[in-house]
Structures are given as structure tokens and as C-alpha cells.
Amino acid sequence: MTDELVIKDLHVSIEGQKILNGVNLTVRKGEVCALMGPNGSGKSTLAYTLMGHPKYTVDKGEAWYKGKNIFELKPDERAKLGLFLSFQYPQEIPGVSVSNFLRTALNSVKPSQISVPDFVKLLKEKMKLLKIDDSFSRRYLNEGFSGGEKKRAEILQLAVLQPEMAILDETDSGLDIDSLKTVAQGVNTLLNPNFGVLIITHYQRILNYITPDSVHVMVKGRIVKSGGKELAHELEAKGYDEIIKEAEVEV
């Protein structure tokens, strides 16, 4: 279906070391899908592989979106198809303002170029929607930004580019409770029936503010358990140990 990102039997390695061992996952538009798991389970590997990072080798498997196996597309073609990745550790780009970066990014993924006046109008609308001060757009991208400001910049990018399928890789990493609430509110503001979200996280806390439609647990490169939002609460209460034990039995 065109409204789904469908990952089938995905095996991925880095320099010959296997990281993903047969991942099957479907992310639907209009829904929030949460992927949880301990450190080193392969969650970020999945995110970077989906967006085409050259470090990761797809040994086997497919990922279908809009009738195309995205592993046959270049990273920029995947972005133009409507896929978006919010990085766990956004990079600083000195000398490039947030505004100029966003206009360049928007023009690179859209079929027609947006004029400067139209872009300024769009940017102001999105900043107002996300309750971000206008001065934010004039700062150099991520230079001197706090952890919370970096993540807010990512959410602003999400709002401006308006992708149809977003992968948020540990967006809650390093955030205090106030910044977490701000980022979660921004994501919730953008949710709509034509927008699908895959949230990758260690902890249940961000799911207190962004309600998932489905929760999946990854251990040793495989999804070993799936359920509804109640699964996140179960993990928070019990930890990953029991899930890991179950997964070891099944290997």
C-alpha cells in the first residue's frame, strides 16, 4: 500500500559485522509507531539504513514505500519520496543560518523552487505553530545550541519540509523534562492522517506525551515483541531483561 512503509526480512551489516537479523516492520501514515530496545540492539542502524547511509550494507531484504523498494534509490531520492530522518546527534553548521538551511533543504526535495517571500511566510507560520521565536531562524544551525534547541530545530525542519514519513531517532536523547515536553508538543502539532512517524527510543518517557499506535521491541537486530501502547508501560516497569531472555530462547 502507498500509505505504508513496509520493511521485509531486513539483514544489515557494518564492515562484515551483522547488526540487523531479519527485521519485519510496517509503519502506516496517520499512525505513530514506536521502536524500543536496549543499547546496541540495532535501532539506529535501521534508521540510517532506511535513509541510505553508505556505512551500512543491506545483505538481504526490502523496504517498500509508494510502490518502490527504497534500497534501490539514492538518499536524496528517498527524501524526495517523502522520507525524513531526525538525527540523534544533529551536526553544527557554522556560517549557515537556520533559515537558509531550511530554504535550501525545502528546494532540494520539492519539485518546484519556493520564492524567498513565500518561504519567509511559510517559515514564520511554522515557527508560530511550534511557538519558536523569530530570532531562532537567524542563528547558525546548531552552533551554540543547547540539546533542546537542536531538537527543536529538527522539529522545525520537519514542519517546513512536511514529509509523509518521519523517522525520529532518539529525539528524546539528552533532553530535560521541559525540552522533552516542547519537542513532543511540536510533533503532536504536526500529526495528521497523511503523516506517519517511527519513533526510536530507549525509554517510555517520550511516549507519555506522544501516544503510539503500536510499540515494537528490538533485541539483537530482530523485533521480538509487538503490542499497543501498554507494551511501553510494561517495559518501563519490568525493563528489558525478561524480553531478552525470551529472545535468547527463540534464537
Q: Kindly report the CA angle at 58 between 91 and 170, in degrees rounded to 5?
A: 35
Q: What per-residue confidence (pLDDT) applies to 251?
A: 45
4-89+164-250, CATH topology level: Rossmann fold (3.40.50)
* Rounded Cα gap, residues 20 and 62, in angstroms: 13
pLDDT digits (tens, 9 = 90+) for 152-167: 888 899 999 999 999 9
In the DSSP assignment, the letter for residue 90 is P
Residue 21 grid coordinates: 537479523
Percent of the chain with pLDDT over 90: 63
Which residues lie across from 13 on neighbouring strands? 18, 57
* Rounded Cα gap, residues 8 and 11, in angstroms: 9
In the DSSP assignment, the letter for residue 75 is H
Q: Which of 174, 245, 167 is nearest to 203 (CA)?
A: 174
In tens digits, the chain (251 residues) has pLDDT values of 567 999 999 999 999 999 999 999 999 999 999 999 988 899 999 999 999 999 999 999 999 999 999 999 999 999 999 999 987 677 788 899 999 999 999 999 888 899 999 999 999 999 888 888 888 999 999 888 887 788 888 889 999 999 999 999 988 877 788 888 888 988 999 899 999 999 999 888 899 999 999 999 999 999 999 999 999 988 888 888 887 777 665 54
Farthest CA pair distance, the chain: 60
